[in-house]
């Protein structure tokens, strides 16, 4: 593997690990752009998915106590999400994935763009178990169809005036569970070739170190600033998806 390829792998790992450490989601958006320059798409996706799970474990430890505050709500997201992954994989052959990505990108850009520049944040406090399950199921389906497990969950959580640890205690385990399932599927399909594993091992140290830096920043931001970061991430996710599809 050339120095040029290693440099792009390390850049992707650093960017993806940093955002995962800070927000608990968004690894693929920030890492894939670099990895796809030097790797085949299936290898890049396999590395990013596994990297998200490994760095996500560090985030899970960070909010391990907050995860116990509302286990029932967490399961309302995770269980439908897991059920949605195979549905998304089945639908993948019957839908235009790029058109779906464009629709999701438009939603993220409209939401993130509107609230990023507003003084008042959205504030939705009602208990909504059915909608929670719907967001979880949709996230699982989108993960199977287009690898967009966190898109709707980020919007939904950023609307809630929860403490940052409580918000992350939902986003992080949801993404780890969904992407862990995706990783297992990629392993079953033979995506983790010796070359892919070598690239992952090159990426892993940079990913872990940058995730620690992101966690350090997470501990120091306020609850309100964390919500604004999620809203800003919605905008960046939408722009990243749009650019990816157009290119």
Cα distances from 19 to residues 26, 99, 224, in angstroms, run 6, 26, 18
Separation of alpha carbons 152 and 138, rounded Å: 8
Angle, to 10 degrees, between the axis of helix 97-116 and the axis of helix 151-158? 20
Dmax over Cα atoms in the chain, in whole Å?
54
Q: What is the pLDDT along the chain (247 residues), one digit of tens a residue?
A: 788 899 999 999 999 899 899 988 888 778 877 888 888 888 888 898 899 999 999 999 999 999 999 999 999 999 999 999 888 878 866 777 677 778 888 888 888 888 887 777 777 888 889 999 999 999 888 887 766 788 888 889 888 888 999 999 999 999 999 989 888 888 888 889 999 999 999 999 999 999 999 999 999 999 989 988 888 888 888 888 888 778 7
Separation of alpha carbons 11 and 32, rounded Å: 10
Q: CB within 8 A of 132, min separation 6: which ones? A: 73, 76, 77, 156
pTM for this entry: 0.84
What per-residue string of b and e applies to 206-237 under the rule 16 or more CB within 10 Å gives b? bbbebbeebbeebeeeeeeebbbbbbbbbbbb
Closest C-alpha among 133, 207, 125 to residue 166:
125
Give the pLDDT score at 3. Answer: 87
Closest C-alpha among 224, 226, 236, 228 to residue 108:
236
User: Which residue ranges make up each domain of the chain?
Assistant: 3-246
Separation of alpha carbons 215 and 147, rounded Å: 24
Give the pLDDT score at 146. Answer: 65
Q: How many CB atoms sit inside 10 A of residue 36's CB? A: 18
């Amino acid at each position: 593997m050339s120095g040029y390829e290693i440099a792009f792998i390390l850049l992707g790992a650093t960017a993806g690990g940093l955002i995962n450490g800070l927000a608990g989601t968004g690894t693929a958006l920030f890492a894939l752009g670099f990895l796809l320059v030097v790797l085949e798409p299936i290898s890049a996706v396999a590395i990013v998915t596994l990297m998200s799970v490994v760095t996500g474990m560090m985030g899970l430890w960070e909010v391990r106590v907050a995860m116990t505050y509302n286990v029932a709500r967490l399961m309302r997201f995770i269980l439908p999400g897991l059920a949605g992954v195979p549905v998304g994989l089945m639908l993948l052959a019957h839908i235009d994935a790029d058109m779906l990505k464009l629709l999701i990108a438009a939603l993220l850009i409209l939401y993130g763009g509107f609230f990023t520049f507003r003084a008042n944040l959205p504030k939705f406090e009602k208990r909504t178990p059915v909608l929670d399950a719907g967001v979880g199921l949709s996230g699982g389906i989108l993960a199977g169809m287009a690898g967009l497990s966190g898109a709707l969950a980020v919007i939904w959580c950023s609307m809630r005036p929860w403490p940052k640890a409580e918000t992350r205690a939902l986003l992080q385990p949801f993404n780890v569970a969904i992407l862990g399932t995706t990783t297992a599927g990629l392993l079953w399909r033979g995506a983790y070739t010796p070359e892919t594993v070598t690239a992952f091992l090159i990426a892993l140290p940079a990913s872990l170190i940058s995730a620690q830096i992101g966690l350090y920043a997470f501990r120091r931001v306020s609850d309100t600033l964390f919500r604004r970061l999620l809203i800003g991430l919605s905008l960046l996710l939408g722009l990243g998806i749009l650019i990816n599809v157009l290119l």
